[in-house]
Amino acid sequence: MKDFETKDYKVFDLFNNQWGLVTAGTLSNCNACTVSWGSLGTIWNGPHGGRPIVTVYINPSRFTWEFLKENDTFTVSFFPEKYRDVLNYLGTVSGKTEDKIRHSKLTVKEISGTVGYEEAELTFVCHKLYQGEFQRDGLADEINHGIYQNWDPHWMFVGEIIEAIDRR
């Protein structure tokens, strides 16, 4: 069992209140976006039962979606509250139009072949196990007719946690 599998993460607080930053690519070519839809859990047998995973939900309209789709690894990072403005910026500006990571002034670093941040207090490094688009016929009516009225579905990215860096 890996050390991070015994920690008590406040999953609902992490995604709902703290937000995460999902990043994929390499130091020379990466992109990131803020996520508030996500989960931690287990799925598919691993050496100690289910594999520890992070799941994030990204719309294809986000430039980061392309990086997640094309790369086998990604990170999901969480930051102290003082970085709220940076996360808001990274969630509203497109990496297609500017180098938003450089403008954010976050310090990027290579972690296990992908990209993380010096300022993050918690980072999950993930190996992608699954990616797929939500299907309309699988969604509850209130989601179909509420969130997806105009049918612009998110994709689910499931990554096995291969490393957790916890500096909290």
What pLDDT sits at residue 54? 97
Alpha helices in 63-99 (DSSP H): 63-70, 84-92
- Divide the 168 residues of the chain into consecutive groups of 10 and give the mean pLDDT of each group: 84 90 96 96 84 96 97 98 96 92 94 96 98 92 87 94 94
The reported pLDDT for the residue numbered 152 is 85
Cβ atoms of 55 and 156 closer than 8 Å: yes
Instruction: Count Cβ atoms within 10 A of the Cβ of residue 168 and give its class: 0-12 exposed, 13-18 middle, 19 or more buried.
Output: exposed
* pLDDT tens digits, one per residue of 109-140: 999 999 999 999 999 999 999 999 999 899 99
Find out whether 128 and 75 touch, Cβ atoms under 8 Å. no
Give, for 102, the enclosing helix (H) or strand (E). Answer: helix 100-104
Instruction: Name the pTM for this structure.
Output: 0.94
pLDDT at 151: 85
Q: Is 145 helix (H, G, I), strand (E, B) or coil?
A: coil
pLDDT score for 30: 96
- Residue 28's pLDDT is 93
Q: What is the DSSP letter of 17?
A: I
Q: Are 29 and 46 in contact (CB under 8 A)?
A: no
